[in-house]
Amino acid sequence: MAIKDNILIRGTPTTAASKVLERYRAAYDSTVIEKLRGADAVFLGKTNLDEFAMGSSTENSAFQLTKNPHDLERVPGGSSGGSATAVAAHEAITALGSDTGGSIRQPANFCGVVGLKPTYGAVSRYGLIAMASSLDQIGPITKTVKDAAIVFKVIAGKDVFDATSADPPPGGYDKLLQPELEDIKKLTIGLPKEYFTEGLNSSVTEAVDKAISALKSLGIKFQEISLPHTKYALACYYIIMPAEVSANLARFDGIRYSRIANLHGSKRRSAQKLLDTYVRQRSEGFGAEAKRRIILGTFVLSSGYYDAYYAKAQRVRALIKKDFDEAFKKVDALLTPVAPTPAFKIGERADDPLAMYLSDVFTIPVNLAGLPAISIPVRDAGGMPKVPSRTEEPKVPSKLEGLPIGFQLIGKHFHETDILGIGQYYDKLFEPR
Amino acid sequence: MHSRSVGTAHMSRIDKQLLKHLLELSRLDVPQKDRPRLLKDLSAILDYFEQLKEVRVEGAEPMSGGTLLTTVMRQDEIDIELKKKESGETGRVIEAFPEKKGTFLKVPPVF
């Protein structure tokens, strides 16, 4: 397995792709790592990410540029771009990522692999370097939906070290690995009309339509539904998330964890004050996006602006969750695109933070509502990797065959079994015979 | 740390003065030459937030976390299994201190 470099493995460097943690070595194993060790997993290495998981293209890493294996001129998505790339390029069978606003599903979508963001609380966050604690969740990136179910089953469950973690309702995960077609056929999938807007790239529409047709062939019924507050999710997220970032990143002060090289330069140590240490460590250690989010978060939480921004966003978040609650009275799961476009070019959005944020418009509402969601490659569109056979040497499709595009299934709280079940039967349609 | 504002909060601009204040609060410094660009980016993001003005939130309780769990408590007792698991951890945390004296964390003078 490949592990995103914001998940602690005892005794090994864990940088979160930031200079502020360049020399940090993890003091303990995160709970997911401990559970995977118990299942005899082998960890091949740590993977690149946007600094502190903040970005949608992995271009914000302080150390390396990661390229999309399907087209080396394009981004792999982010922030778990390294994990998605490692699986797509057959460097690892599976990987772990983390997802705060789409950071597992969007790179999986861009790289033609499967990415699962579990229900908030389904997987312990102990040992995950925190970005936005009310949104963060660890999940698997794999080649097939079945593999995602296998890894999820190992890492899920309540943990005393994470007070927000919880077990599923009794029997909740019994059919994770052996879903029954009879159960799947009974499910109704909702198509939220707000996700199928005019701004959608035509290749995405085409691919998602193919996925819907394939699922209909299994006997699953579809129904159009509405999530009226969808268009406010991005603004809501970009208030709540930086607020939490500004608090979580306060701990990287140069006193604990790790200090950037030559912090005190040639000046005599005795001339240095504590405040200088804080400011130099953080100013020289954090990249532009991290700084932008810390400043924005400090702003929305500060006196005089709190009510207009943070308190308002918290209420909008409740309305977004309520939209989903209402929809799930009518349907069992939702199907949407993962991102408005396929993978974009390296550098294309690097200078425009708002354009970068827009690539997460379909994944963010799920985190705000704490729901489980999976990104699955459309297997019969463009250059999509077919479901890999166990005997054949895998090959990465060339860009001539087109870029991968996925679809997203969103489930009810702790109903990973539904979306992983639908996904496993979807994959079965394309398995080599 | 962050006090709730009373009075009339309104959507606002971040100007040079406010940016300076926010940088102080954040323990960050940004070179003067980079500040106009930063202000421009922040303005664009704040403009995007304007759309939240039109959302009617009356009756919606603020959602302050990702879960509906209420305060989760743990028994205040020594758990032998946990202690075993944590053994050696303290040493590794101390080892990671950028500067130390014995087992103490060394901090530059405050004044």
- Are residues A190 and A427 in contact, defined by beta-carbon separation less than 8 angstroms? no
Residues 6+ apart with CB under 8 A from B85: none
Model confidence pLDDT, tens digit, residues A339-374: 999 999 999 988 888 888 888 999 999 999 999 999
Give me the pLDDT at residue B2, please.
42
Give me the pLDDT at residue B99, please.
87
Give me the pLDDT at residue A359, please.
86
Residue type, A341: T
Residue B1 has pLDDT above 50, yes or no: no
For residue A254, the tally of other CB atoms under 10 A from its CB is 26
Q: Please state the separation of Cα B58 from the chain's center in Å.
A: 28
Q: How far is A269 from chain B (nearest CA, A)?
A: 8
Q: Compute the distance between CA of residue A173 and CA of residue A417 in angstroms, rounded to an integer.
A: 6
- Active-site annotation holds for A322: no
Q: Compute the distance between CA of residue A65 and CA of residue A389 in angstroms, rounded to an integer.
A: 30
- Chain B interface, best mutation among A305, A322, A413, by max B CB count within 10 A: A305
Q: DSSP readout, A16-57? A: TT-GGGTT-B-SS--HHHHHHHHTT----EEE--SGGG--SS
Answer whether B78 touches A (CB < 8 Å).
no
Give me the pLDDT at residue A198, please.
76
For A366, which residue in chain B has the nearest alpha carbon?
A: B66
- Active-site annotation holds for A19: no
Q: How far is A63 from chain B (nearest CA, A)?
A: 21
Residue A376 DSSP one-character state:
E
- Are residues A254 and A275 in contact, defined by beta-carbon separation less than 8 angstroms? no
Kindly state the tokens that stand for A134: 């009310």
Write the burial class of residue A189 (CB in 10 Å: 0-12 exposed, 13-18 middle, 19+ buried). buried
Strand ranges across the sheet with A2-4: A45-47, A2-4, A94-98, A138-142, A114-117, A373-377, A406-411, A333-337, A188-192, A221-225
Q: How far is A386 from chain B (nearest CA, A)?
A: 35
The mean pLDDT values, 10 residues at a time, for chain A of 433 residues are: 97 95 93 98 98 96 95 95 96 97 98 97 97 97 97 96 91 94 96 90 92 96 97 96 97 88 59 85 94 97 93 96 97 97 92 85 97 95 63 59 90 97 96 75
Model confidence pLDDT, tens digit, residues B46-64: 999 999 999 999 988 898 8
Query: Which chain B residues are closer than 8 Å to A257 by Cβ?
Result: 96, 98
Q: How far is A229 from chain B (nearest CA, A)?
A: 8
Residue B7 has pLDDT above 60, yes or no: no
Residue B3 has pLDDT above 60, yes or no: no
Query: Which chain B residues are closer than 8 Å to A311 by Cβ?
Result: 4, 62
- Are residues A74 and A346 in contact, defined by beta-carbon separation less than 8 angstroms? yes
Q: Compute the distance between CA of residue A371 and CA of residue A365 in angstroms, rounded to an integer.
A: 9
Give me the pLDDT at residue A401, please.
60
Fold for A2-227+317-428, please state it: Amidase signature (AS) enzymes (3.90.1300)
Query: Which chain B residues are closer than 8 Å to A322 by Cβ?
Result: 60
Domain spans in chain A, listed from the N-terminal domain onward: 2-227+317-428
Positive or negative torsion for Cα B93, B96, B98, B100: positive
Q: Please state the separation of Cα A172 from the chain's center in Å.
A: 23
Q: Compute the distance between CA of residue A78 and CA of residue A91 in angstroms, rounded to an integer.
A: 18
Give me the pLDDT at residue B76, please.
85
- Active-site annotation holds for A103: yes
Give me the pLDDT at residue B29, please.
95
**B6 vs A167: which has the higher pLDDT:** A167
- Buried-exposed string A360-375: b where 16+ CB fall within 10 A, e elsewhere: bbbbbbbbbbbbbbbb
**C-alpha distances in Å from residue A122, one per residue of A164, A172, A203, A248:** 9, 11, 33, 21
Instruction: Give the pairing type, strands B100-101 and B104-105.
Output: antiparallel
Q: Compute the distance between CA of residue A156 and CA of residue A151 in angstroms, rounded to an integer.
A: 9
Give me the pLDDT at residue A269, please.
55
Average pLDDT over residues B8-20: 75
Closest CB from A121, A236, A304 relative to B67: A121
For B31, which residue in chain A has the nearest alpha carbon?
A: A283
Instruction: Give the pairing type, strands A406-411 and A333-337.
Output: antiparallel
Kindly state the tokens that stand for A206: 């085409």
Closest CB from B4, B18, B63 relative to A318: B63
Give me the pLDDT at residue A390, please.
62
Kindly state the tokens that stand for B32: 């003067």
Closest CB from A254, A298, A316 relative to B25: A298
For residue A418, the tally of other CB atoms under 10 A from its CB is 22
